Chain A
Amino acid sequence: MAAVVVSSMMGKMYGLCFHAVRRTAGLKAPWLLHRRAFRISAVHRQQPFDSSLEKPQFPGASADFVDHLEFIQPNVISGIPVYRVMDRQGNIINPSQDPQLSKETVLNFYQKMTLLNTMDRILYESQRQGRISFYMTNYGEEGTHIGSAAALEPTDMVFGQYREAGVLMYRGFPLDLFMAQCYANADDLGKGRQMPVHYGSKDLNFVTISSPLATQIPQAAGAAYALKRENLNRAVICYFGEGAASEGDAHAGFNFSATLECPLIFFCRNNGYAISTPTNEQYRGDGIAARGPGYGMLSIRVDGNDVFAVYNATKEARRRAVAENQPFLIEAMTYRIGHHSTSDDSSAYRSVDEVNYWDKQDHPISRLRHYMTARGWWSEDDERSWRKQSRKTVMEAFERAERRLKPNPELLFTDVYQEMTPGLSRQRDSMWRHVQQYKEHYPVDLYEKQ
């Protein structure tokens, strides 16, 4: 009973919220075409003081009095529904939701997802053989990357966590540069300073990954604010896992982006685990999506194994975020099929059956393949030859990367500051003197010479 009452109240709340948003959007629509609106919310949303009305006058919330005691119950049994466009066999469920993407686009989606998968397999194995120091696969989450990346403009800025290589893949980041980063060789744009999978690309507007979780979330809000002021029709997307959403920085980022009205899409990959921690030890509410409305943010939950559902949600969020200068939250439900990283054995905390279910029966790649096969866009032969070709391309890049020298050790000292400080250049000189004297104890031959 209580649950019913609450859900109807929640429904009312959502309804009101949507209504308010729709109204503001409608009012502004004519001049949005020319220029983005700067809504000044502090004045705009706080209810006006009027002592003559017999209703609450508290500045902190706009609400009616109620004369009976009732705590608001969280609705976790029947949570926010999961938006889906195609079923597990790749059939479109509701034709009105079909994004009607062209054959080329869909093939591109599929090829990028499978190429990422192939690269994952090869680099994972190479770590097992000790050829690179560390790796993190994207198994099971390929759909979230490709679907969301495809719905963005190439100029939109991406802030990620570390399991979003597919976004870079979609934007055309060369295999050689993926490998260069993992091998930390002389071609690495990051100059070999960070652990593997910490990619970044200025040209592709993909901000360099860092290990501390959730730090990118308030940063994305700041970047979105700056882009809003530039007024160049750009948005920001910020990816993070459901575990990272527990960090204080996530709270900061959600709240800042809402109060400062930033054109930003928060994209949460809820894959059920943060290393070994299952979600019931991560939160007790209705996942991450349910937090959005608490921050005054439009939110949706999608099937992360359905590339079209991800695409549709991101596309619409992107359109509205830019038009209305407000943040959106997308929670993509998915499953982390691989181990957390190469330093983790996930069979220590979850069953193989569970993993197999997601790998064999509900995988974003196989679902899209069903869709393509049903339309006659993809055959067994295509699959075989594409598998072979992608494996060959990846292997070639892999071998090139492995043969390459490491960057000059000089690069250990640059970029700490824009210019090298006198203290740092003294330390650099002292390192070179030392290495010169003791060169037989240092791997100098593996590194590029000065």
Chain B
Amino acid sequence: MAAAVRFFIRGANSRLSVGTGTSGSLGAALLKLSPSCSSRSKTQRRHAAHFTYQPDPVPTQYGETQKMNLFQSVTSALDNTLSSDPTAVIFGEDVAFGGVFRCTVGLRDKYGKDRVFNTPLCEQGIVGFGIGAAVAGATAIAEIQFADYIYPAFDQIVNEAAKYRYRSGNLFDCGNLTIRAPWGCVGHGSLYHSQSPEAFFAHCPGIKVSPHKVKDNIKCSFTDGDPPHHSRAVMQVPSQIINNPLQKSQDLTKYKINTIIITMKARLKRWICDLLSVFFQSVVKTGRLLVSHEAPVTGGFAAEISSTVQEECFLNLEAPISRVCGYDTPFPHIFEPFYIPDKWKCFEAIKRMINY
């Protein structure tokens, strides 16, 4: 785990040019310990982004904004929650010193050791603990260090968190529980630092799985009344709390999947408005649909989207719905560039679909 941590902080530093002082110095210290630090640029550049983030236009409706990368906007959302909700606590493995992805930097100093704290290294314990805290009335924000390590807590999430309200007839609930987990491929994460487990959870009534729209989604999930779990772009983020109803982004018709879409936004401007959100109206209008996600194709969430669109838009479809996803293999290390459903795979699928 220590090796993995060093690896990722290095990655994060080089890619996102960390701004805060503490994380910068920590990154530097770790770099010194790493014998391969001078040759990192080669590996990094070779796998350099298979996508290009495009900043959204600066939002004006929420007041003052600040330029943040994704982890900073997570910290900002957590900060807002801790300051507005005295019951809110943040916990998980290594969150106290700021987290291995720097998402909780400074929060312990600002809010105290009883509100931002480390737990023993035990995922089922973290989620179980979070459920209990939420049941007793606290806002519990649990961190699972990588989405790949959420499976030990699968029982607590699926059998407990998701069913708490239902089974008790709404006497008890853990609606104030949020589980955050870094998610998706990173260029060199291999089997256990790259997974996209959303489809495992999409099959479970009672939880909300919410990738993207980081700050507003996280904020609303902290106060949403039902337990969800999250994912990574420099953007303009309002400094105050914004409450965006999760319901809307949850609705299947507006489901956005993954970084791929953003890549395509850069490259395939012509189709972008149709591909960005999978909604029925756009399929009705265009008659074609391509769904893409990093996770393996079989049993992936794209299957759910395509069968639903097929049901709802059968008479409008002019080509078979196309799925461009990860292959049905574990997520490999050195073969990652061949594994991921990158823009060329998507582009080819779109060409075939357009010429159908």
Interface residues of A (CB under 8 A from B): 38, 40, 42, 157, 159, 188-191, 193-194, 198, 200-202, 207-208, 210, 212, 215, 217-227, 229-230, 236, 248-249, 251-253, 255-256, 259-260, 414-419, 421-424
**Which B residues lie within 8 Å of A190 (CB)?**
167-169, 171
B138 within 8 A of A: yes
Do A417 and B206 contact each other (CB < 8 Å), given the known contacts A212-B159, A222-B134, A249-B125? Answer: yes
Instruction: Please measure, in the bound complex, the distance between the C-alpha atom of A259 and the C-alpha atom of B155, giving whole angstroms.
Output: 23
Q: Which chain B positions have C-beta within 8 A of A201?
A: 171
Is B56 in contact with chain A by the CB < 8 A criterion? Answer: no
Interfacial residues, chain B to chain A (CB-CB below 8 A): 87, 89, 113-114, 117-120, 122, 124-125, 127-138, 140, 152, 155-156, 159-160, 163-173, 175, 205-206, 208, 224-226, 247, 250-252
30 contacts between A and B (CB under 8 A): A190-B171, A193-B167, A194-B167, A200-B168, A200-B172, A207-B168, A210-B163, A212-B160, A215-B128, A219-B128, A221-B125, A222-B134, A225-B129, A226-B89, A226-B132, A226-B137, A249-B125, A249-B155, A251-B122, A252-B120, A252-B128, A256-B120, A260-B117, A415-B165, A415-B170, A417-B165, A417-B225, A418-B225, A419-B247, A421-B250
Known contacts A210-B163, A249-B128; decide if A223 and B205 are in contact (CB<8 Å): no
Closest-by-CB residue of B relative to A188 is B169
| Cβ B225 vs Cβ A229 within 8 A | no
Determine which residue in B125, B137, B159, B166 has the highest number of CB atoms from chain A within 10 A of its CB, and name it: B125
Given contacts A38-B114, A157-B136, A189-B169, is CB(A416)–CB(B129) below 8 Å? no
Cβ-defined contact, A222 with B173, below 8 A? no
Looking across the interface, which residue of chain A has its beta carbon closest to that of B251? Answer: A422
Interface centre among B129, B132, B133, B163 (most CB of A within 10 A): B132
Further 13 A-B residue pairs, CB within 8 A, beyond A40-B113, A212-B155, A418-B175? A190-B171, A200-B172, A202-B171, A207-B135, A210-B163, A219-B132, A219-B160, A226-B132, A226-B140, A415-B169, A416-B166, A418-B226, A424-B205
Q: How far is the CB of A245 from chain B (nearest CB, A)?
A: 15
Are B135's CB and A249's CB within 8 A? no
B160 touches A210 (CB 8 A): yes
Please indicate the chain B residues that have their CB under 8 angstroms from the CB of A414 in the complex. Answer: 170
In the complex, the answer to whether B129 meets A256 with C-beta atoms within 8 Å is: yes
| Cα–Cα, bound, A105→B243 (Å) | 53
Contact A421 B247 (CB under 8 A): yes
Say whether A193 contacts B172, CB under 8 Å: no
The answer to whether residues A223 and B136 also contact, given A252-B124, A255-B120, A415-B166 and a CB cut-off of 8 A, is: yes
- Report the separation of the CA atoms of residues A218 and B133 in the bound assembly, to the nearest whole angstrom: 10
Q: Which A residues are CB-close (under 8 A) to B224?
A: 418
Shortest A236–chain B CB gap in Å is 8
Complex CA–CA separation, A249 to B123 (angstroms):
10
Q: How many Å from the CB of B60 to the closest CB on chain A?
A: 30
Q: Do residues A210 and B129 form an inter-chain contact, with CB atoms below 8 A?
A: no
Q: How far is the CB of B300 from chain A (nearest CB, A)?
A: 19
Complex interface: chain A residues within 8 A of B127 (CB): 218
Which of A210, A215, A419 has the most chain B CB within a 10 Å cutoff? A215
A212 to B162, CA, bound (A): 13
| B169 in contact with A219 (CB, 8 Å) | no
Closest to B125 in A: A252
Closest B residue, CB atoms, query A220: B132
A404–chain B nearest beta-carbon distance, Å: 15
Q: Are A222 and B135 in contact (CB under 8 A)?
A: yes
Complexed CA–CA distance, A236 and B8 (Å): 39
Alpha-carbon distance between A227 and B175 when the two chains are bound, in angstroms: 17
Check A226 against B87 for contact (C-beta < 8 Å): yes
Tell me the complex Cα distance, A424–B205, Å.
Answer: 10
A200 contacts which chain B residues (CB < 8 A)? 168-169, 171-172
- Contacts of A159 on B, CB cut-off 8 Å? 132
Q: Which residues of A contact B124 (CB under 8 A)?
A: 218, 248-249, 252
Please, how many angstroms separate the alpha-carbon atoms of A159 and B173 in the complex?
14
Distance A188 CA – B168 CA, assembled complex (angstroms) = 10
Query: Please, which residues of chain A bring their CB within 8 A of the CB of B252?
Result: 423
Kindly list chain B residues whose C-beta atoms are within 8 Å of the C-beta of A223: 132-133, 135-136
CB distance from A192 to the nearest CB of B (A): 8
The distance in angstroms between the C-alpha atoms of A311 and B87, with both chains bound, is: 33
Greatest chain B CB density within 10 A among A198, A218, A236, A422 is at: A218
- Chain B residues with Cβ below 8 Å from A157 are 136
Most buried by B among A38, A42, A252, A419: A252
Question: Do A208 and B172 have beta carbons less than 8 Å apart?
Answer: yes
A-B pairs with lowest CB-CB distance, top 9: A222-B132, A218-B128, A252-B125, A219-B132, A208-B168, A418-B225, A226-B136, A222-B129, A223-B136
B6 to chain A, nearest CB (A): 20
* Nearest A residue (CB) for B171: A202
- Write the nearest CB–CB distance from B98 to chain A, whole angstroms: 16
Chain A residues, CB < 8 A from B164: 208
Nearest Cβ distance between residue A262 and chain B, in whole angstroms? 9
Complex Cα distance A419/B125, Å? 28
- Contacting A222 at CB < 8 Å: which of B113, B128, B168, B251? B128
Chain A residue contacts of B167, Cβ below 8 A = 190, 193-194, 198, 208, 210
Q: Is the beta-carbon distance between A221 and B132 smaller than 8 angstroms?
A: yes
Task: Assess the A226–B133 pair: CB atoms within 8 A.
Answer: yes
Compute how far the CA of A215 lies from the CA of B152 in the bound complex, rounded to whole angstroms: 12
Q: Chain A residues near B125 (CB, 8 Å)?
A: 218, 221, 249, 251-253, 255-256
A227 to B137, CA, bound (A): 9
B157 → A minimal CB distance (Å): 11
- Chain A residue nearest in CB terms to B114: A38
B206 surroundings in chain A (CB, below 8 A): 416-417
Given A222-B133, A422-B251; A417-B119 close (CB under 8 Å): no
Q: Which residues of A contact B132 (CB under 8 A)?
A: 159, 218-226
- Of B128, B133, B152, chain A has the most CB atoms within 10 Å of the CB of B128
Min C-beta distance of A228 to chain B, whole Å? 8
| Chain B, residue nearest A424 (CB) | B205
Contact check: which of A210, A222, A255, A424 meets B122 at CB < 8 Å? Answer: A255
When distances are taken between beta carbons in the complex, the residues of chain B under 8 Å from A193 are 166-167, 169
Are B89 and A259 closer than 8 Å at their CB atoms?
Answer: no
A221 touches B129 (CB 8 A): yes
Q: Is the CB of A218 within 8 A of B156?
A: yes
Residues of chain A within 8 A (CB-CB) of B159 are: 210, 212, 215
Min CB distance A38 to B, Å, is 5
Q: How far is the CB of A76 from chain B (nearest CB, A)?
A: 27
> What residue of chain B has the Cβ atom nearest to residue A190's Cβ?
B169
Are A225 and B122 in touch, CB under 8 angstroms?
no
- What is the distance, in angstroms, from B122's C-beta to the closest C-beta of chain A? 5
In the assembled complex, the Cα of A222 lies from the Cα of B92 at a distance in Å of 12
- Residue of B156, B171, B226 contacting most chain A CB atoms (<10 Å): B171
A191 to B169, CA, bound (A): 5
- Selected from B114, B131, B250, the residue in CB contact (under 8 A) with A219 is B131
Contact yes or no, A189 B171, CB < 8 A: yes
